[in-house]
């Protein structure tokens, strides 16, 4: 590729914080970003070349975006794969990852079946269409089970643990399963949750960032720790699973791959053709075909951020190094309010004065309960310690000192 001015244009369906950070990463590469989003002045709008206002599945909006772009991608799974496929065929603008991959990921049952067929280790699961199916699944898998809406869930929403058969109807109503069915999974007794950002570039080249530990509360991710606090054999096994996941999907880009680690294999999952490994068994949880919250640490903590890597990959440019620069932790800044209100964050000066600390503000106009408003990253090379426990304690304290007025 030869760089000119103007350079290539990347069209992104979705203009939230991921679109914003894609725009920030694309600029130094000489790449312009145009986003489409239904919200005028979306979070990405201050840092991208332009925004088209329209729904994620609006044909006219996506066609106009495709006509302005050299490549289309998406930062939200609410993008419509059929519409993307249609505008790609009519305009000749490629979509990465492919619409078929998006279609697979949008339905958790289809996603599990795809990975099961590929030999990726998963928790046992059953299709659930009604309360009787859920009760049968619980009797088969063992109570409690994790119930997941097949479509539409994110950030833990659409997932609910079900303790016993008597709770079946209420659980199905809570996840909205009547709109598209549900999936019951055997509850995994895991030691920790982890994630890997995998990437596929041109000519099928694949790579993965170092495995990261993710810390959740009430099904919402609060912090990440890289390296994950586990042994090298487990990290290598997690990387193997991540690369197997990439082999089962189509298209270029980065993929957020969520994993469980448990200390030994029991009857709550299948090996799916993989022999159990000493020191920890890895099971796949879910996959996102886009940059992911678990990979935000890479902006300061890796040689190439997940956002720059996604831009490189979808445009067919050489991939950057996935090497971690130093131990790095990240903490999400979540809305700590009871009711939606104007976003006004306080405590910023003290945070920015702390060595090795980086703030990312997403530019959302309204703060809501537990809404992701930004994140704080702390790197070992700036903080003067390589002890991840100390880093994690510091980043959580500095994040907690931020408040919404």
Q: What is the DSSP string of 36-90?
A: EESSTT-TTGGGSSEEEE--TT-HHHHHHHHHH-SEEEESSTTS-HHHHHHHHHH
C-alpha distances in Å from residue 57, one per residue of 9, 52, 214, 269: 21, 13, 31, 36
Rounded Cα distance between 136 and 143, Å, is 10
Of 259, 267, 263, the C-alpha closest to 279 is 263
CA atoms within 13 A on the CB side of 250: 10
- Residue 259 burial by Cβ neighbours in a 10 Å radius (0-12, 13-18, 19+): buried
User: Residue 3 has what pLDDT?
Assistant: 74
- Tell me if 286 is assigned to a ligand binding site: yes
Rounded Cα distance between 217 and 300, Å, is 24
pLDDT band at 154; cut points 50, 70, 90: low
252 DSSP 8-state letter: S
Please tell me whether residue 307 adopts helix, strand or coil conformation. Answer: helix
- Tell me if 188 is assigned to a ligand binding site: yes
pLDDT at 326 over 60: yes
Q: Is 381 left (phi over 0), alpha (psi -120 to 50) or beta?
A: alpha
> For 175-186, what is each residue's pLDDT tens digit?
876 667 899 999
Tokens (6 digits) for 385: 């310690």
User: Residue 212 has what pLDDT?
Assistant: 98
Indicate the pTM of the whole model: 0.94
- Tell me if 281 is assigned to a ligand binding site: no
- Tell me if 33 is assigned to a ligand binding site: no
The number of beta carbons lying within 10 Å of the beta carbon of residue 283 is: 24
Tokens (6 digits) for 192: 């920790």
The whole-chain average pLDDT of the chain stands at 93
In the chain, the domains with their CATH numbers are 9-95 (3.40.50.20), 124-186 (3.30.1490.20), 192-404 (3.30.470.20)
- Tell me if 89 is assigned to a ligand binding site: no
Rounded Cα distance between 247 and 204, Å, is 9
The alpha carbons of the chain give a radius of gyration, in whole angstroms, of 21
**How big is the CA angle at 308 (ends 233 and 317), to the nearest 5 degrees?**
95
- Tell me if 237 is assigned to a ligand binding site: no
- Tell me if 200 is assigned to a ligand binding site: no
388 DSSP 8-state letter: H
User: Residue 270 has what pLDDT?
Assistant: 46
Q: Are 172 and 219 in contact (CB under 8 A)?
A: no
- Tell me if 285 is assigned to a ligand binding site: yes
Tokens (6 digits) for 75: 């930062």
- Tell me if 186 is assigned to a ligand binding site: yes
pLDDT band at 85; cut points 50, 70, 90: very high
Residue in the block written with tokens 């399963």: 177
Please tell me whether residue 177 adopts helix, strand or coil conformation. Answer: helix
> For 233-287, what is each residue's pLDDT tens digit?
999 999 999 999 999 999 999 999 999 999 865 455 443 333 334 457 999 999 9
Least confident of 5-9, 106-110, 125-129, 339-343: 5-9
Q: For the residues 159-171, what does the mean pLDDT come to?
A: 94
- Tell me if 216 is assigned to a ligand binding site: yes
Task: Give the percent of the chain with pLDDT over 90.
Answer: 88
Rounded Cα distance between 291 and 289, Å, is 7
């Amino acid at each position: 590729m030869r760089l000119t001015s103007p350079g290539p244009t990347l069209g992104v369906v979705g203009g939230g914080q991921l679109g914003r950070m894609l725009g920030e990463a694309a600029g130094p590469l000489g790449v312009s970003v145009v986003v489409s989003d239904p919200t005028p002045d979306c979070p990405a709008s201050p840092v991208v070349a332009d925004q088209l206002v329209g729904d994620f599945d609006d044909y006219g909006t996506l066609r106009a975006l495709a006509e302005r772009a050299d490549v289309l991608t998406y930062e939200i799974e609410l993008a419509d794969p059929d519409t993307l496929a249609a505008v790609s065929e009519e305009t000749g603008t490629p979509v990465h990852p492919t619409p078929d991959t998006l279609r697979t990921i949008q339905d958790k049952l289809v996603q599990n079946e795809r990975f099961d067929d590929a030999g990726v280790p998963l928790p046992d699961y059953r299709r659930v269409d009604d309360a009787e199916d859920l009760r049968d699944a619980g009797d088969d898998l063992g109570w409690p089970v994790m119930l997941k809406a097949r479509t539409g869930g994110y950030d833990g929403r659409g997932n609910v643990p079900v303790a016993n058969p008597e709770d079946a109807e209420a659980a199905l109503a809570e996840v909205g399963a009547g709109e598209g069915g549900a999936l019951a999974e055997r509850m995994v007794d895991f030691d920790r949750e982890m994630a890997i950002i995998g990437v596929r570039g041109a000519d099928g080249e694949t790579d993965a960032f170092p495995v990261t530990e993710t810390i959740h509360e009430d099904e919402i991710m609060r912090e990440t720790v890289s390296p994950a606090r586990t042994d090298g054999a487990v990290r290598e096994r997690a990387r193997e699973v991540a690369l197997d996941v990439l082999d089962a999907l189509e298209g270029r880009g980065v993929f957020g791959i969520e994993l469980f680690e448990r200390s030994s294999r029991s009857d709550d999952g299948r090996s799916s053709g993989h022999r159990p490994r000493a020191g920890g068994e890895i099971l796949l949880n879910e996959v996102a075909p886009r940059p992911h919250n678990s990979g935000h640490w890479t902006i300061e903590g890796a040689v190439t951020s997940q956002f720059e890597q996604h831009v490189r990959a979808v445009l067919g440019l050489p991939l950057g190094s996935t090497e971690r620069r130093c131990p790095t932790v990240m903490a999400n800044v979540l809305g700590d309010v009871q009711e939606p209100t104007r976003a006004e964050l306080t405590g910023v000066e003290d945070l920015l004065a702390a060595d090795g600390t980086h703030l990312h503000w997403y530019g959302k106009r309204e703060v809501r309960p537990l809404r992701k408003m930004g994140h704080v990253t702390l790197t070992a090379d700036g903080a003067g310690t390589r002890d991840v426990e100390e880093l994690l304690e510091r980043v959580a304290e500095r994040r907690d000192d931020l408040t919404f007025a």
